[in-house]
Amino acid sequence: MSELFEAPTLDQAALARALSGFHLIGGKLTRPVNGRLFPVVNPATGATVAEAADGDSADVDAAVADAARAQKDWALLPARKRGALVHQAAQLIRAHVEELARLVALETGKALRTESRVEANNVADIFEFFGGLGGEIKGETVPFGPDVLNITVREPLGVVGAIIPWNIPMMLLALKVAPALVAGNSIVVKSAEEAPLAVLRIAELMNRVLPPGVFNILSGQGPECGAPLVAHDLVKKVTFTGSVETGRIIARTAADKFIPVTLELGGKSPMIVFADCDFEKTVAGALTSMRFTRQGQSCTAASRIFVQRPIYEKFVAEMAKRVDAMVMGDPLDEATDIGTIISPAQYEKVQAFIAEGKATSGAEGRACARMPADPTLRKGLFIQPHIFTGLDKDSRLVREEIFGPVTVVFPFDDAEAVLRDANDTEFGLAASVWTNDLKIALRFAHRIEAGLVQVNQNLVVQPNLSYGGVKNSGLGKEASLESMLEHFTHKKTIMVNMA
């Protein structure tokens, strides 16, 4: 490996080239068995910036076998020692935060200042948080009888298979890898086809600290690489973030193996705004809630906004004005607020939703923010944020997850009616309520069908706060001590007859 690869660098293009064509298996960067590669494209320019290893079942077999061998010794380490090593790796990640931020901006098109740098810092936070939880992997003494000692212990599951998406790849990697490792498992990650570079760099950094084979990462396509990972006999747990359709396939395969799964499958999150809210704070919160700086590519994006009628017109106008003032441009430019859509396929999908909304009788779609003027970005996958009003509640824009910078705003008069509308969705990941009336806030928080409800804020996932959805938004929780214990260990009961 070059000198560049050993130390932090701000030359993201050179780093991308240095990472080209590798998996990380058994503590070493390795080439795919089949020799195949696929391009990694900068969505802001359309230029190929690297090539990724196009793995298949042979690479999966090698990674899982190494992970299974390494897991036995890893599980024997005291939990606090495992945590200390994960925490040590977190410090290495923190030293490379700017490098990682620039690299993920290059491959995903996410704006450096508003998105990528924030994500990179969150990754270090997550590994630090879970690194401190080793001492919490403990059991209980259970009363049974005077002559019987009855205890429980927490034991790791074995090899964990993880499949991550492209929208916040580093952060979702951390949320799966950190608790799995501290709990005593080894892990094999399949990265997203569109964003394999920054997560590979994180794995390489962490493998400078961790024992070889404990943390492995592959790149490749879902059917050829992801599916064999899920189906592998030695994989004892699967954790996945992605589409509902793929989640169902994974759940069926896991059911045939009788292994546990954690699934985070998306959302259509409501934002409910009452007239007594702090208006300035709430309008600003709408921009944050919709994740416009990430081009709306977020499972928790507030893509359905319900505003009480007395402030509805004013709210829509002010929201549009503020989004219009945001800067779209080169993701690596510090002046940029909004970057690009991830891929041509996603770009076409989002544009089709926008066209359908604009063609709907009685609807209005307000395009906000100017497209980049820089001619070097003419091939970039930029889409103006759109705020729709006047749509019917049965519209596809209201029912389906768009995963783009598109939100729909409705007026409401009746609190019970808006609660029914908020819950009228197959998803149940997140929601927010904006009001200064504590009674209303708590009543809605209890009755909204979602795994995470926030009042007067809509933050992204935070370490130590349980995160996960209901209904078609998935199974299980992430980001907390609860997730580590319940989803990455099993409880064993030990009874000792002392009579």
The enclosing domain of 176 has a CATH number of: 3.40.605.10
Query: In Å, how far from its chain's centre is CA 38?
Result: 23
Q: Has 264 been annotated as catalytic?
A: yes
Interval 139-145 mean pLDDT: 93
Does any domain span residue 369?
yes
Interval 403-414 mean pLDDT: 98
Dihedral pair phi/psi, residue 20, rounded to 5°: -60, 135
Does any domain span residue 246?
yes
Is 414 found in the same domain as 303?
yes
Whole-structure pTM over 0.85, yes or no? yes
Res. 4: pLDDT tops 60? no
Is 224 found in the same domain as 274?
no
Residues 84-123, buried b or exposed e (16+ Cβ, 10 A)?
bbbbebbebbbebbbbbbbbbbbbbbbbbbbbbbbbbbbb
Per-residue pLDDT band at 150 (split at 50, 70, 90): very high
Is 165 found in the same domain as 56?
yes
Does any domain span residue 1?
no
Does any domain span residue 6?
no
Is 147 found in the same domain as 59?
yes
Per-residue pLDDT band at 6 (split at 50, 70, 90): confident
Per-residue pLDDT band at 5 (split at 50, 70, 90): confident
Per-residue pLDDT band at 1 (split at 50, 70, 90): very low
Is 148 found in the same domain as 215?
yes
Is 392 found in the same domain as 436?
yes
- Residue from 115, 264, 449, 478 carrying the catalytic annotation: 264
Is residue 268 a contact partner of residue 427, using CB atoms and an 8 Å limit? yes
- Amino acid present at 137: I
Is 156 found in the same domain as 16?
yes
Domain count, the chain: 2
Does any domain span residue 203?
yes
Length of the chain: 499
CA 497 – CA 145 distance, rounded (Å): 9
Is 318 found in the same domain as 228?
no
Res. 2: pLDDT tops 80? no
Is residue 266 a contact partner of residue 427, using CB atoms and an 8 Å limit? yes
The CB density around residue 459, as the number of other CB atoms within 10 Å, is 12
Does any domain span residue 460?
no
Span 86-129, pLDDT tens digits: 999 999 999 999 999 999 999 999 999 999 999 999 999 999 99
Is 436 found in the same domain as 481?
no
Strand bridging mode 261-264 / 474-475: antiparallel
Query: What's the pLDDT at 3?
Result: 44
Does any domain span residue 464?
no
CA 91 – CA 102 distance, rounded (Å): 18
Span 234-256, pLDDT tens digits: 999 999 999 999 999 999 999 99
Interval 22-33 mean pLDDT: 98
Res. 308: pLDDT tops 70? yes
Strand bridging mode 235-241 / 159-163: parallel
User: Which residue, chain included where needed, has tokens 């086809």?
Assistant: 193
Q: Report helix angle 438-447 to 415-423, nearest 10.
A: 30
Is 224 found in the same domain as 279?
no
Residues 349-385, buried b or exposed e (16+ Cβ, 10 A)?
ebeebbeebeebeebebbbbbeebeeeebeebbbbbb
Structural domain including 297 reads 270-455
Query: What's the pLDDT at 164?
Result: 98
Mean of the per-residue pLDDT values of the chain: 97
CA 174 – CA 164 distance, rounded (Å): 10
User: Which residue, chain included where needed, has tokens 């990265």?
Assistant: 191
Is 359 found in the same domain as 223?
no
Strand bridging mode 148-156 / 489-497: antiparallel
Is 339 found in the same domain as 234?
no
Query: What's the pLDDT at 60?
Result: 98
Res. 158: pLDDT tops 90? yes
CA 353 – CA 332 distance, rounded (Å): 28
Strand bridging mode 215-218 / 270-273: unpaired
Per-residue pLDDT band at 335 (split at 50, 70, 90): very high
Q: Which two tokens stand for residue 104?
A: 């993920």
Does any domain span residue 463?
no
Q: Report the CATH number at residue 351.
A: 3.40.309.10
Q: Which two tokens stand for residue 268?
A: 């259509």
Interval 24-43 mean pLDDT: 98
